[in-house]
A = this chain, B = another copy of it.
C-alpha cells in the first residue's frame, strides 16, 4: 500500500483586507463580535472583472491565510471556552492549513475596492477568495453547535487575546 501522498497546493492572494485591527490583542474573534466594524478590501486590478454582479449580495464569504499564525496545535483552549478542544471543532487560527473564513456584510463595491462591515481580521491580511453568501446554500439556523451551545452568551462579547500568536504553549 502506498503511503499518503504529500501533494501540496500553492495560492497567491488576489488582494488585501484592511481593518481597524492592527494587533491581535482585543480583536473580535468572529464577525458576530464585530458587528458594524467597517473595513475594506482592495483587489488587485487584474481581477477587477471578477467582481461584477457581486454588489447584489448583502454578505460575502472571505477566505484568507492566518498569516501571523505559526505552526499548529491539535488541541486548543478556544477563546470561548476554558477547556481544551480538538482544533477542528474550533475556529482557532493555529491549525493545520491555517486558512480563515469570515462571513462579512458587503456595503459597497467601488471598482477594485469593497467596503465591508462585521470584519474580524487583522489589518493587512492577504485575501485568497471571495464567494457570495446565500441563504440557499449557507444558512442552517437549527444545527447543533457542540461545546459552543453551552457558551452562546459569550460569543458576541468575546475578544481575542494573544494565545494564538507565536509558538505552541
Contact = CB atoms under 8 A, between A and B. Distances in A.
Interface string A27-38: 000111000000
How many of these chains are in the complex? 2
A74 B47 contact: yes
B7 A57 contact: no
A87 interface: yes
A1 interface: no
A159 B62 CA distance: 25
Given A87-B50, A147-B56, A133 B139 contact: no
22 contacts: A9-B11, A9-B12, A9-B128, A32-B137, A47-B88, A49-B86, A52-B89, A53-B89, A54-B146, A56-B144, A57-B144, A57-B145, A58-B144, A88-B131, A88-B132, A97-B129, A101-B101, A132-B148, A133-B140, A134-B143, A138-B139, A138-B140
Interface of A: 4, 6-14, 30-32, 44, 47-59, 61, 63, 65, 67, 74-75, 85-91, 95-97, 99, 101, 103, 126, 128-149, 152, 155
